[in-house]
Structure 1
Amino acid sequence: MEHVLIIHEVENFAVWKKIFDVAAPIRKEAGELSYQILKLDSDANKIVHFSKWTSIANAKAFFESDRLVEIRQQAGVKAPEFIYLQLLEQGVL
């Protein structure tokens, strides 16, 4: 399973979340399988988006597309950091 970890600051969480939700169909079409949204406990506008993807190539193509750059601008995203990850092991304790 392939994962993407995105850490970014947003101008306004409520505005960002509306645009994030509207973009769900295009994320799914691009290969996103599931996601989690987290925030820093000290800053509601510092967001972590952790998601599972069909492939790293699909995730990179999506996140680096001109279409998504425009969506990020509309959503008030500041300097996102993308970390592409491959699952090595998973467990439950």
Structure 2
Amino acid sequence: MTTLFVRHAVSDYKAWRKVYDAFAPVQKASGVKAESVYQAADDPNDVTVTHDFANAADARAFIENPKLKEAMASAGVVGAPTMWITNKA
């Protein structure tokens, strides 16, 4: 199992969440097996998202999908996100 972690600041969590939820069909078509959303305890606009994939290649392809960048921009992501891919040990 491969997990992609994405951490970013958003301008408004509720507005971001609407776009994130609407993006679910693209996630599924891109091989996302499961996902989770977390907010920092002291800042609800500091968001970390996890996406599980079958392999790292699928995770990399998802990161490079232009639709993902468009969704992030329209959702109010502030600055560049931090992304990293992990494999379960």
Q: TM-score, normalised by structure 1?
A: 0.89
Question: Does the alignment pair 1:64 with 2:64?
Answer: yes
Cα distance in 1 for residues equivalent to 2:14 and 2:56: 28
Q: Following TM superposition, by how much is the alpha carbon of 1:49 offset from its aligned partner in structure 2, in angstroms?
A: 0.3
Q: Following TM superposition, by how much is the alpha carbon of 1:36 offset from its aligned partner in structure 2, in angstroms?
A: 1.2
- The higher radius of gyration belongs to 1
- After the TM superposition, which segments of 4 or more aligned residues of structure 1 sit over 2 Å from their partners? none
The residue that corresponds to 1:36 in the other structure is: 36
The residue that corresponds to 1:13 in the other structure is: 13
Runs (5+) with no aligned partner, structure 1: 89-93
Q: Following TM superposition, by how much is the alpha carbon of 1:32 offset from its aligned partner in structure 2, in angstroms?
A: 0.5
Contact preservation (8 Å) 1:36, 1:50:
yes
The residue that corresponds to 2:26 in the other structure is: 26
SS in 2 for 1:32: coil
Runs (5+) with no aligned partner, structure 2: none
Q: Following TM superposition, by how much is the alpha carbon of 1:19 offset from its aligned partner in structure 2, in angstroms?
A: 0.5
Cα distance in 2 for residues equivalent to 1:69 and 1:51: 16
Question: Does the alignment pair 1:46 with 2:42?
Answer: no
RMSD between aligned alpha carbons? 0.9
Cα distance in 1 for residues equivalent to 2:4 and 2:69: 17
Q: Following TM superposition, by how much is the alpha carbon of 1:25 offset from its aligned partner in structure 2, in angstroms?
A: 0.8
- Give the length in aligned residue pairs: 88
Q: TM-score, normalised by structure 2?
A: 0.93
Question: Does the alignment pair 1:80 with 2:76?
Answer: no
Cα distance in 1 for residues equivalent to 2:62 and 2:51: 13
